[in-house]
Amino acid sequence: MRAHVVLAVFKRNFWSYFSGVIGYLFIVAFVFLGAFAAFQEKFFANNVASFEQLNEWFPQLLLFIVPAITMSIWSEERKLGTEELLFTLPVSDLEVLIGKYLAVVSVYSVALGFSLTNVLSLSWIGSPDPGLILTTYLGYWLSGCALLAAGMVASQLTSNSTVAFVLGSAICAIPVFAGRLSFILSWLAPDSKFDALRTAFEGLSLSSQFKPFGMGLIPSQGLFYFLALTGLMLYINYVLIGYRHWSGGVKGTNMGVQYAIRAVSLLLILIGAGTVFARGGFRSDLTSEQLFSFSRTTREVLKDLKSERQVTIQAFVSRNPPRDYVSVKSTLLGLLGQYAQSSSNVSIRIVEVDPSSEQADEAKQFGIETRDVQFELEGSMRVEKVVMGAVVNSGSNEVVIPHFGQGTPIEYELTRSILTVANEKRKTIGVLETDAKINGGFDMSSFRSQPEWRIVAELKKSYNVETVSPAQPIDESKYDALIAVLPSSLGMNEFTHFLDYVKKGKPTLILDDPFPATNPSLAPRQPKPRAGGNPMMGMGQQGEPKAFGGKTTPLVDLLGIEWNFDEIVWDDTSLYLHPEYEKLLREEIISVSPRSENPKAFNRESPITRSLQEVMLFFSGSIKERELKKGDEKTLEFLPLLQTGRRSGLLMWDDLVKNSMFGLQIDPNPVHVMDDYAHILAAQITSVKDAKGDKVNVIYVADTDLVSDFFFQLRETKQFKLDLDNVTFILNAVDSLSGDSAMIDLRNRRPKHRTLTSVERQTGQYVEEANKERQKAAEDAKLALKDAKKRLADKVEKIKKDESLDEDSKMQQLLIAQQEESRRLEVDEATINLKKEQQIDTSKTKMDRLTRQVKDRYYTMALLASPIPAILLGLLVWMMRLNNEQKDIAPNRRVAKKT
């Protein structure tokens, strides 16, 4: 193949595309539609600086731009009669094909290059990951290159450019919508016998192969798919070009059958090779955090495995998982292959499971259950069964991972399990028995058995976990760390034993809460639940009173902190970090995040919180280090771990919670008074070196809901698209206290929150202004109500001081005045509250309008800016061409034309 011939064909076809205005119009439309897809409303709702929305629509966008580029590449030659002239030249069919293909690829590359304006807009609005953007655009380019070869096939079949455009869209739609065929097949033939065929269709879809590129990876399987699709389509092009040599007669028919067989054989070879790449191959990870590569911790764990401690990993995975679990399965199998390659001491067994098979029964014996998962498909909600778990054992040690969810950190789970089974002895964590019942057991107040919280099940994967009864002195030598959830619920005798344990400096994680949202009846302000009856009905036997009325006074004195058991923190950070859930959130649901305008929201010096990005707490309390009195010696180190933002404050219990016949009720619009300083929600408190007297080694968290099952479910399913670090924080705290910190770095490994910082900055200001307006409305209402009450008091006082009235007259007038003023007060109070609600609604409406204006402004500017470079280049080329045409006209004719 001669390079100069290929170059000549390339130049002719490349420049011909830009010879008219139509080519530029297609490019402008392509770039504009790309911006339209990338920056839709969902982009701002998700608050993630990535092309996630564009990735969903890009394959369909290719159905427009690819046929537009290829429609005239062959058809125009045939229409103008230059095809025969072209092939009478001393050039080979392959040279012409390669030259034309390189030309359309170059045109597409120019169009894709103009779409980089979307990257500039994204960088202006937020802070994207450069590596992710690079792999995403590589995926865009490879997808287009593959479909361009298919579009050339369509152009080869006709001499009409319009028909070539339609045919090109139809042919390109086959790989683009191949995944949809699996849905149609499942509808027409729901029998499980066709599961393998459905999976094959899903794997052959362009969207499925592009997905890893959109995650920041360059997979060998994806590269092979696009190269194979390109090669197959170019081969069909080559066959169609050569048709003129052998068409006509019986010989032509035989040659047609022969080439058809060759094409089918090539397709089967490519599918077989693709299957090999799917089970092996490599993946290059270009994400900034290297999220899909083995961490240093994993490499060290595998390196330190002893030859006599062979580790076996048995993975039970659905043969044909639901669409949302396809990536979970591929990631799990890919990582397992890396484990086996990285260490000879790790052996892998992969069992593909059907829901009703013997393999499913085997998985069930290990504790790996078949789960129903709900997902959206073609606009409707579906429920399918999935098995996705693993068993890791070494000798008699065994760890079961019952389920890998969409949000499960797979490498962490596997490496943690390998480290656990490889160690001959596990450390022991004690879980204090309190009214919270986090370790399960029988609840006397409800006569029901309570399951253990998921935090306990999670700890059992790494530690021996034992229930600790505070009814008797706690053995200080037995536990490497103790977890106490809601110690304010303990009786005096139990609290004393717990306090004695803490005084000995034993590592302890304490979580207490002024208002446990999971069970408000356990709040420190509330009495202990009655045993054997409904506390609301006064039934059952009254339990032992809480020690110190639930205030835990000796404990907070020992820790040198202030913790008021009836103060609840509020913070507006969650409202502007998650505007899509504004109706579900309220100020008492706190998001701890550096984006709260408090750079110390997480303590970056502590390994526990160093890499956290967002933790959510419900109706949390706050703690504060006590100030030393003059002359006192510092005996404790107080290290804040979690803090609110600056736009926060405190609510008293009585201002937020009301008792009613239906139980505790939360005021929907309490008065929020901003105190303009950050509140500490969790801290590590330790005795200074060589301190005398009692020792302390405690992590204190002023919220218990932080470890509720809800956040474990959220972590597993990625529900609501909330990426929270609650589970990571609590496990880091336990590991740090127990002295087993090997997994902290790996657990902290996660993608950085790359948000729409410009939007957040502006909408945050509107949220703050709205809160100030709401606060002012509440204060005005409070003052107006106070004035109304004062008016009644003044009238009463005036009657009392009226000496012209006898006692009976005074009593009569007082009664009349009180009745009149009470009625007036009721009317005034209703009017004042109505006015307050109207002001609050007006403020909220104004905030919503301003926030929407900000998003619309960014959307409009990104949309309008996208096609500008392409338009400017088109105008420049048009002006240059016009100028050249004027030069070719004789001067006397130009003058005549002007006159």
Question: What is the pLDDT, as a whole number, of residue 888?
Answer: 61
pTM of the predicted protein model:
0.68
Residue 398, class by beta-carbon neighbours within 10 Å (0-12 exposed, 13-18 middle, 19+ buried)? middle
Nearest to 228 by CA among 266, 173, 262: 266
Asked which of 771-775, 793-797, 817-821 is least confident by mean pLDDT, the reply is 771-775
Which CA distances in Å does 788 have to 291, 392, 782, 797, 814? Answer: 63, 71, 10, 14, 17
Instruction: Please give the pLDDT value at position 608.
Output: 94
359-378 burial string, b = 16+ CB within 10 Å, else e?
bbeebeebebebbebeeeee
Q: How confident is the model at residue 897 (pLDDT cuts 50, 70, 90)?
A: very low
249-265 pLDDT, tens digit each: 444 556 556 656 666 66
* CA proximity to 680, closest of 575, 609, 756: 609
DSSP, collapsed to helix, strand or coil, labels residue 529 as coil
Q: Give me the residues paired with residue 760 across strands.
A: none
Q: Which of these ranges, 191-195, 474-478, 619-623, 723-727, has the smallest mean pLDDT?
A: 191-195
- As a whole number, the mean pLDDT across the chain is 81
Q: How many helices (H) and strands (E) does the chain have?
A: 32, 25
DSSP letter string over 623-661?
BEEPPPPTTPPP-EEEEEEEE--SSEEEEEHHHHEEEET
Instruction: List Cβ neighbours of 788 (8 Å cut-off, separation of 6 or more).
Output: 824, 825, 828, 829, 832
Q: 840-871 burial string, b = 16+ CB within 10 Å, else e? A: beebeeebeebbeebbeebbeebbeebbebbb
The per-residue pLDDT for range 593-613, each reduced to its tens digit, is 988 778 899 999 999 999 898
Give the pLDDT confidence score for residue 224 in this predicted structure: 84
Q: Is 532 left (phi over 0), alpha (psi -120 to 50) or beta?
A: left
Q: Which two tokens stand for residue 278?
A: 């799917």
Most confident range (mean pLDDT) of 227-241, 648-662, 691-705 is 691-705
Looking at residue 293, its pLDDT comes to 78
Residues 574-583 pLDDT 10s: 877 776 676 7
pLDDT at residue 535, rounded to an integer:
47
* The pLDDT of residue 378 is above 70: no
Amino acid letter for position 577 = L
197-211, 313-327, 419-433 — which is least confidently predicted? 197-211
**pLDDT at residue 674, as a whole number:** 82
Mean pLDDT of all residues in 366-388:
74
Determine the pLDDT at residue 275: 58
- Coil, helix or strand for 489? helix
Among the residue ranges 227-236, 442-451, 497-506, the one predicted with the least confidence is: 442-451
Mean pLDDT of 423-429: 88
The per-residue pLDDT for 536 is 46
Residue 832 has pLDDT above 90, yes or no: no
In whole angstroms, give the CA distance from residue 680 to residue 682: 6
User: Would you say residue 754 has pLDDT above 90?
Assistant: no
What torsion do the CA atoms of 144, 148, 150, 153 make, to the nearest 10 degrees?
170
Query: What confidence tier does 699 reach under pLDDT thresholds 50, 70, 90?
Result: very high
Report pLDDT for 899: 44
SS (H, E, C) 347-378: EEEEEEECCCCHHHHHHHHCCCCCEEEEEEEC
Give the mean model confidence (pLDDT) for residues 147-172. 90
Euclidean distance between CA atoms 532 and 445, whole angstroms: 5
Q: Are 669 and 837 in contact (CB under 8 A)?
A: yes
The pLDDT of 395-410, averaged and rounded, is: 88
Confidence at residue 188, expressed as pLDDT on a 0 to 100 scale: 53
